[in-house]
Chains A and B, each alone.
Chain A
Amino acid sequence: MSVSDDEPPTKEELAAADALANRVDDLLSGTSLPAVLDAEDRELAELGSMIHASYNPAKLDAERQSSLIEAALAQGAGVAQHEPDELARARAKRMARWPFVLGGLVAAAAILLLVLRPGSKPEEMHAPVARIMELPTSQQSRPGDAVIGPIAQKDSAAAGARIDIVHGDRMSGYRALQYRKLVGER
């Protein structure tokens, strides 16, 4: 080959280039290189085919495409044939979770609605509007002196009789108080 690029190619060089082009075309068309080939020529032919491939992406013909697709589908189908039950179960399991997820969301929404409901502050709901009752003396707890009076010495041990009197008197007032609470104060 010529060392200088300025000089026009020689006939030998052009013939070598044609031979290289033919070998690259052969490689691209699927034809194997000749078994007996100079190592330098073999490298050049392979390099040329690589450069050509990088600039011109290979387009598969329809037959080749369909054969590749069928092979891929056949591989996938093989996997599916191996584990059909597991896939179906996993899918069913995922589907079964949805009602619970939805239920949880509804419950959470209900609780949030309950807590954040406008105007439903617990202290407002349960705030008592209380008024202390004004009680007559008979409904009040008080000393028993008025109902018992002075205790004679002969009756000093008659505590049973006295507690009957006190209990009866207080029970009357207690019942009146309970009735009043029951019917409410008008």
Chain B
Amino acid sequence: MRVTRTSVILLALLAFSVGCSNESPSDSSQRGALTALTEPENALSEELMLCLGQAKNFHHKADVFLSEGKLSEAADEVAKIMDIPFPTDAPESEDALLDTRARLAKLRTEQGQLDEALELVDDGIASATRKSFFLANVYTVRGEIFEAKAAAAEAGSEASRHAKIEAITAFDSSIEINDQLLKSLKSEQ
């Protein structure tokens, strides 16, 4: 028994050493390859695709709730997109998150939660790293929030007047960004 056990151990050790010292065919083919292709940093990544897919799911789930008139549940689903760990260096991440803020702010506005809605768009504007149609849309939603604020304020009051000025300023910002981007896109074409 002891001799058998020892023989098995020895054979295992030898097999291990031989296995370690020999390359598999795939290894040797890789060594023999002229190049190993490496993705650049801006390549579309699986991580980004997963995050976009998740955001898409939450948006559609919110659509279902909205079709049932469940505004609060829809807003909760959209809010979950804010917790998705988007890759920070992907432009699509910023676009998707700005669009999510825009939609959620609109839902909060419909719920009458104007301050929360304003906070959502202002945080989005502050976090933006570039001008985009999505950022312009956030400014548009900011204008709509101030429209709602002006409507909610007493007619002719200072609050109403201030809200209207803010709304016009926000719409102007949106229009300006859209104009710049359109000119840029046309020049590229």
Footprint of B on A, CB under 8 Å? 96, 99-100, 102-103, 106-107, 110-111, 113-114, 117, 120, 125, 128-135, 139-146, 148-151, 153, 156-160, 162-164, 166-167, 170-171, 173-174, 177, 181, 184-185
Q: Which of B136-144, B148-156, B158-166 binds A? A: B136-144
Listed residue (B33, B46, B62, B137) with the most chain A CB atoms within 10 angstroms of its CB: B137
Please name the residue on chain A nearest to B93 by beta carbon: A141
Q: Can you list 18 A-B pairs, Cβ within 8 angstroms, ordered by A?
A: A114-B17, A132-B38, A132-B39, A134-B40, A143-B132, A144-B133, A148-B134, A150-B136, A151-B137, A156-B140, A157-B106, A159-B99, A160-B62, A163-B96, A166-B52, A170-B49, A171-B49, A174-B49
On whether A114 and B2 interact (CB within 8 A), knowing A139-B44, A160-B103, the answer reads no
- B contact residues around A139 at 8 Å (CB): 43-44
Closest partner residue, chain A, to B49 (CB atom): A174
* Residues on B with beta carbons closer than 8 Å to the beta carbon of A132: 37-40
Neighbour of A159 across the interface among B34, B44, B103, B182, CB < 8 A: B103
As a 0/1 sequence over residues 38 to 81 of chain B, the CB contacts with chain A under 8 angstroms (1 = contact) are: 11101111101100110110011011000000000000001000
Q: Are B90 and A150 in contact (CB under 8 A)?
A: no
Decide yes or no: A167 and B56 within 8 Å by CB, A144-B95, A157-B102 being known contacts. yes
Contact residues, B1-53 vs A (CB, 8 A) = 2-3, 6-7, 9-10, 13-14, 16-17, 20-21, 31, 33-40, 42-46, 48-49, 52-53
In the complex, the chain A residue whose C-beta lies closest to that of B99 is: A159
- For A156, the chain B residues whose CB sits under 8 A away are 102, 106, 137, 140-141, 144
Total A-B residue contacts, Cβ distance less than 8 Å: 169
Rounded to whole Å, the gap between the CB of A172 and the closest CB of chain B is 10
Range of interface residues on chain B? 35 or more
- On whether A163 and B52 interact (CB within 8 A), knowing A130-B36, A135-B40, A143-B91, the answer reads yes
15 A-B pairs besides A96-B2, A151-B137 with CB distance below 8 A are: A100-B6, A110-B17, A120-B21, A129-B36, A143-B92, A145-B95, A145-B132, A145-B185, A151-B133, A151-B134, A151-B136, A151-B140, A159-B103, A177-B39, A181-B37
Q: Could you tell me which B residues sit within 8 Å of A by CB distance?
A: 2-3, 6-7, 9-10, 13-14, 16-17, 20-21, 31, 33-40, 42-46, 48-49, 52-53, 55-56, 59-60, 62-63, 78, 89-92, 95-96, 99-100, 102-103, 106-107, 130, 132-134, 136-137, 140-141, 144, 178, 181-182, 185
Q: Which residues of B contact A173 (CB under 8 A)?
A: 44
* Given the contacts A107-B13, A130-B36, A156-B144, A117 and B21 also touching, CB distance less than 8 Å: yes
Known interface pairs A159-B102, A170-B49; A140-B44 also in contact (CB < 8 Å): yes
Which residues of B are found within 8 Å of A159, using beta-carbon distances? 59, 78, 96, 99-100, 102-103
Query: Hey, which chain A residues are within 8 Å of B133, CB to CB?
Result: 144-145, 148-151
Which residues of A are found within 8 Å of B13, using beta-carbon distances? 103, 106-107, 110
Contact B37–A131 (Cβ < 8 Å): yes
**Which chain A residues lie closer than 8 Å to B130 at the CB level?**
143
Per CB-CB distance, the 4 closest pairs between chain A and chain B, nearest first, are A160-B59, A110-B17, A99-B6, A159-B99
Residue on A nearest B138 in the bound complex, by CB = A156
